[in-house]
Chain A
Amino acid sequence: MSNAVSAVQGASFKGSISVKDAGLQGMITLRGDLGSDTLAKAVKAAVGVTVPGVGKINTGKKGSAAWMSPDELFLLVDYATADTVVAKLEKAITGAHVLAVNVSDARAVFNLEGVGIRDVLAKGSPADMSTSAFAIGDLRRTRLGQLPVAFWLDSDTTATVVCFRSVGEHVFNWLKAAAQKGTLPKYYI
């Protein structure tokens, strides 16, 4: 897989916050009964965390599990292991009605860093970015400008943004424009 490249191929930008291509990231769509013990066990075994609650993301050493919809999770693992994890999940949940599929190549992922991340995201997302409404462990499926994205905080000053691969360049350019130096509204800082 040495010839595998991410959508924006390592692009980065430093303005009022820094924006960086996160590179190749293993991602899995898991659809099923989120309340079932089998699924919970399989998720635990695959990424090492419990099934997240509505709008949440749980992160552990092996990966993360994020809530996408009442019957859909989004799992984050190492890029190289995604297929193996899918196989493991399928095996662990044999018999139950689930769909586990590798979507690592269908997405682009960006890392944001800086105290202004909330201000930058609030330029394009109608989600409430205040500390009381959006904290570490929360995930938002929302939009950034004209495009659907999901994002969450990794710390008070770092965030991860996921979008579809084909519009990775657009989202990167959008983030670049929103993160120009000296343009933060300073609403959240």
Chain B
Amino acid sequence: MSTRLQTGGRLIDRTKQIEFTFNGKRLNGFKGDTLASALLANDQMMVGRSFKYHRPRGIIAAGPEEPNALMGTGVDGHFEPNQRATTTELFQGLTSQSQNHWPSLEFDVGAINSKLSRFFPAGFYYKTFMAPRAAWKHVFEPIVRMSAGLGKAPTHKDEDTYEYFYAHVDIMVVGGGIAGLAAALTAGQSGASVLLMEQGVTFGGRALTDGVEIDGKPAAAWVKKTLAALKKLPNVQIRNRMMGAGVYDHGYALGYERITDHMGPSTGPRHRLWRIRTKRIVTATGAIERPLSFAGNDVPGVMLAGALRDYIADYGVSVGDRTVVVTNNDDGYRTAIALHEAGLNVPCIIDPRGDLDGELPARAIALGIRIENKSAIGKVKGGKRVEAVTLCAQAGEGGTLEEIKCDAVAMSGGWSPVVHLWSHCGGKLNWDFDQAMFRPDPSRPPLGADGTGFVIATGTANGHLDSASVMKGAVTAGKLAAKETGHKATGITPKASDEKASPIAAVWSMPQGAIYALKSKTFLDYQNDVKVSDVRLAAQEGFESVEHTKRYTTLGMATDQGKLSNINGLAVLADSLNKEIPQVGTTTFRPPYHPISFGAIVGDARGELFKPIRKSPIHQWIDDNGGDWEPVADWRRPYCYKQQGETTEQAVTREILNTRVNCGLLDASTLGKIIVKGPDAAKFLDMMYTNMMSTLKVGHCRYGLMCTENGFLSDDGVVARLSDDTFLCHTTSGGSDRIHAWMEEWLQTEWWDWKVYTANLTEQYAQIAVVGPNARKVLEKLGGMDVSAEALPFMRFKDGMLGGIKARPFRISFSGELSYEIAVPASQGQAFWDMCMEAGKEFGIQPYGTECLHVMRAEKGFIMIGDETDGTVIPQDLGLNWAISKKKEDFLGKRAQLRPHMVDPKRWKLVGLKSVVPTEVIPDGAYATDGTTRQNGVKHMIGRVTSTYFSPTLNHAIAMGLVEFGPDRMGEIIDFPTIDGDIIKAEICDPVFLDKEGARQNV
């Protein structure tokens, strides 16, 4: 059983006991523990069930590579699934629960899958659930979904906050082991700005556990000294609990800082996503130990050798009294020695290699530890924990020579450099046959904007497994980074030393000729339950590419992204294909290195900051006065103003009738307002609009249409000529930024020599429409300027004062009524609005919303961009030929509108539609049919509705629509089938339903 040792544990503080829970059980740990070390200290060997076969699984690693110990931590608004116990720092009150088991961790129904594993081979999903088709949706998928999956999705809103931080730095060093520290110090001393980040809490890395000596002293002393020296440098920033998550083009990198995870629910951001621009990135990210592939290598108690000694040295935790060590390299012997020194028993070291002349094996022999050469583990015995291993010859098929009782197995299959950050942006790898590892190829680094490499790998991440080379390489890397960022670095290489080692033996299968029964219990990918037999089957079925095999078998596709399984898996694939490992290659390394929270990615963009909303100067008043909001581009506009007890429909009807009879007030501030000025402004606008703007007189307004160069109607609005060389162009609410950019694009790229300047003044003015028969009376009451029909006729504007506020009333009308749109400074928009409401009281003034506006304009047959247009409609379709100049030599869209398809008489054209039954409103988007059927069985369509309303003014359902030969078919009745099978009949008519001669507006 696993337990806390009497002494030891570099990182824990035995005076500070911490209580936490696991699956509801109250347990104790110490400050400094990870959840994993604390669980092991409490003999919690089994921590989860596997994904596919629901096999009992235990902790394998001590770092972020852990595939099994995934927990749901926290409760409710702080719950988070798939947290690695090995990187979760223990805090008082931490709650954790294991995943992927039902009904309990100890007794799991799904474990039957393990007995049926013969029926769950690689590609099982693709092979099994193909037929019958309907069964997938109704039978297979629901069952698969219930029994598969890792963590549970959170059910509560995340109560934590998150943020971004942008940093610019000369050199970013990832990894706070001895290599990262040495590189950072060397670079820092050159004067370059340096950001050093370490994913864990403490600095020094494996050197502290593995007895490295630097400058004749234990590594810890050097680490302390170096950290102190770094902290003194003002140009160096040091961050722990911060992971280098990703490397992207042009020296862009992501850092993931976990600010409060180690404290539990706290105030302030939980995670901070660092978005870093850097000139050079030094990756000192270390290496990850590989498991060995033998049967039962997933039984709880089988661990990476390095992790096992981490638990002893860092946390004072023993995984078992008797540990069998199995290793193909000298490093595994460290664990045997560490166990021995901790007073624990090592029944046997099993080593597939032959002659061993390294110092570590010699030391193990001297300690009297039994070593079995050229041997292998046949299989591990035990279910929920290790009971014994069988010893066999590595060269054989797994015939048992002896059974060795034990509580734990420490395995080491060699070390794989963490090349992820090097590879994210295209750094290439070489296969090192001697060390059996992929390592960065310094001649093929990821390239920056200037064509030079911007990532420098160093330390074990660069394939240096001995500390002397690590130190030498790290100082060189620091110097190189400094030099390449324009600094001069000097630096003395600290002298590091460790034991002479004998070479590693590449062992990808144990024993070499393992029979199928063993292979099918030999796990490569623990998290996705991929076995050696699965990869062999994939190869047998013709999967040659490592990327295809990955997807077919799901090898390396789990949340650990194959940190433990990739190399072993592709080695098995290479062997099955009879190829060399470099010929097979690796799968692509993609960011992030290790899962980061969605919260960190979202940052502050949630709640009220989720999406910026543009607010007009009248926004608050509207909100306080029953405004029923609808989104209009990024703005919010009131659909209507609801009075007490009113339905939306009632409010809209009231607003229309009131505006038509008395007076309405509309906040039109969201309309785009673009100033166009210069000697060539008139010429420019003649190009932008389909109609002639250069002939517009100063003081006059003209409605204009804008098309794209493909001829399609893009925006519309009223243009006012302020002076000879200055125009004010109104755009739609959604078009203000787009049309301004459109104008600038043409001015900057095509007509760069035209003398025209534009400025977007949309937000400079509040624009308030006073509409209705009493409109003039309201303005006259405000006083300050003559707004009479004579002084300010229809389609004119004037500058003056109204109610003491600088105002520019435009006599324009989108409702067909007597109407003034008054532009006032935005800062005084609310004041002006209040004045109008006050002055209009006696004239029955009421505010109205966008739906009232829509209905009134439809009654008048005015088109709406986005309703009558959808990007495929040209002005000619809408009967707007009067607004298309025939005199102008050119305008945007002119040539396109001459294309054969654009002049096709069969194009659907705008007409009015009057329902035969006056109360029947045609549904939005309805199509008109002619009763015939197309070859494909679909009803033949001859038109569609673009706007449809019930008009309270006419007490009749009205609509506008595009109909084939529409204008030639006045008076015809056509059919609009509805979704529920009815047909609404409507008469084709003039789209202008009200006051065609304009008597109401032109007063």
**Which of B165, B757, B764 is close to A103, meaning CB atoms less than 8 Å apart?**
B764
Q: Which residues of B contact A5 (CB under 8 A)?
A: 827-828, 830-831
The answer on a CB contact under 8 Å between B165 and A187 is yes
Smallest CB separation, B951 vs chain A (Å): 33
The answer on a CB contact under 8 Å between B604 and A178 is yes
Determine the interface band of chain B, counting residues with CB < 8 A from chain A. Answer: 35 or more
Q: Which of A91-109 contact B (CB under 8 A)?
A: 97-99, 101-107
The answer on a CB contact under 8 Å between B604 and A103 is no
CA distance A106 to B675 in the complex (A): 13
Q: Which residues of A contact B193 (CB under 8 A)?
A: 130
CA distance A164 to B760 in the complex (A): 11
Binds A, one of B311-319, B467-475, B605-613, B942-950: B605-613
The answer on a CB contact under 8 Å between B757 and A97 is yes
The answer on a CB contact under 8 Å between B166 and A166 is no
Q: Which residues of A contact B757 (CB under 8 A)?
A: 31-32, 71, 97-99
Q: Which residues of A contact B237 (CB under 8 A)?
A: 187
The answer on a CB contact under 8 Å between A174 and B609 is yes
CA distance A174 to B763 in the complex (A): 20
Interface centre among B613, B677, B763 (most CB of A within 10 A): B763
Q: Which residues of B contact A129 (CB under 8 A)?
A: 166, 168
Closest B residue to A147 by beta carbon equals B612
Is A29 interfacial (CB-CB < 8 Å)? yes
Closest B residue to A1 by beta carbon equals B828
CA distance A106 to B759 in the complex (A): 11
**Which of A106, A125, A182, A187 is close to B763, meaning CB atoms less than 8 Å apart?**
A106
Q: Which residues of A contact B614 (CB under 8 A)?
A: 164, 166-167
CA distance A102 to B827 in the complex (A): 13
Smallest CB separation, A120 vs chain B (Å): 10
Smallest CB separation, A73 vs chain B (Å): 12
Q: Which residues of B contact A105 (CB under 8 A)?
A: 763-765, 825-827
Is B494 interfacial (CB-CB < 8 Å)? no
CA distance A117 to B99 in the complex (A): 44
Q: Which of A7-64 contact B (CB under 8 A)?
A: 7, 24, 29, 31-32
CA distance A103 to B830 in the complex (A): 18
Closest A residue to B675 by beta carbon equals A101
Is B734 interfacial (CB-CB < 8 Å)? no
**Which of A98, A167, A185 is close to B612, meaning CB atoms less than 8 Å apart?**
A167
Interface centre among A107, A119, A123, A166 (most CB of B within 10 A): A166
Q: Which residues of A contact B608 (CB under 8 A)?
A: 170, 173
Closest A residue to B275 by beta carbon equals A126
Binds A, one of B201-209, B243-251, B266-274: B266-274
Known A-B contacts A106-B763, A133-B168, A165-B826; the reply to A170 vs B609 at CB < 8 A is yes
The answer on a CB contact under 8 Å between A128 and B277 is yes
Q: Which residues of A contact B759 (CB under 8 A)?
A: 29, 31, 99, 101, 103
**Which of A4, A6, A146, A178 is close to B163, meaning CB atoms less than 8 Å apart?**
A178
Q: Which residues of A contact B755 (CB under 8 A)?
A: 97
Smallest CB separation, B851 vs chain A (Å): 22
Is B762 interfacial (CB-CB < 8 Å)? yes
CA distance A165 to B275 in the complex (A): 28
- Type the 1/0 row for A124-166, where 1 means its CB is closer than 8 Å to any CB of B: 1111111001000000000001110000000000000000111
The answer on a CB contact under 8 Å between A4 and B764 is no
Smallest CB separation, B604 vs chain A (Å): 6
**Which of B166, B604, B609, B830 is close to A122, meaning CB atoms less than 8 Å apart?**
B166
The answer on a CB contact under 8 Å between A106 and B761 is yes
CA distance A119 to B616 in the complex (A): 31
Closest B residue to A134 by beta carbon equals B168
CA distance A119 to B165 in the complex (A): 8
Is A78 interfacial (CB-CB < 8 Å)? no
CA distance A102 to B675 in the complex (A): 11
Q: Which residues of B contact A164 (CB under 8 A)?
A: 614, 763
- Type the 1/0 row for B734-757, where 1 means its CB is closer than 8 Å to any CB of A: 000000000000000000000101
Smallest CB separation, A5 vs chain B (Å): 6
Residues of B within 8 A of A (CB): 161, 163-168, 193, 237, 267-269, 272, 275, 277, 604-605, 608-609, 611-617, 635, 675, 677-679, 755, 757-759, 761-765, 805, 825-828, 830-831
| Contacts A/B (CB < 8 Å), 13 sampled | A3-B805, A31-B757, A32-B757, A97-B757, A98-B757, A103-B764, A105-B764, A105-B765, A146-B611, A166-B615, A166-B763, A167-B613, A167-B615
User: Which 10 residue pairs of A and B lie closest in terms of their CB atoms, listed nearest first?
Assistant: A3-B831, A166-B614, A99-B757, A4-B827, A105-B826, A106-B763, A106-B764, A128-B168, A31-B757, A170-B612
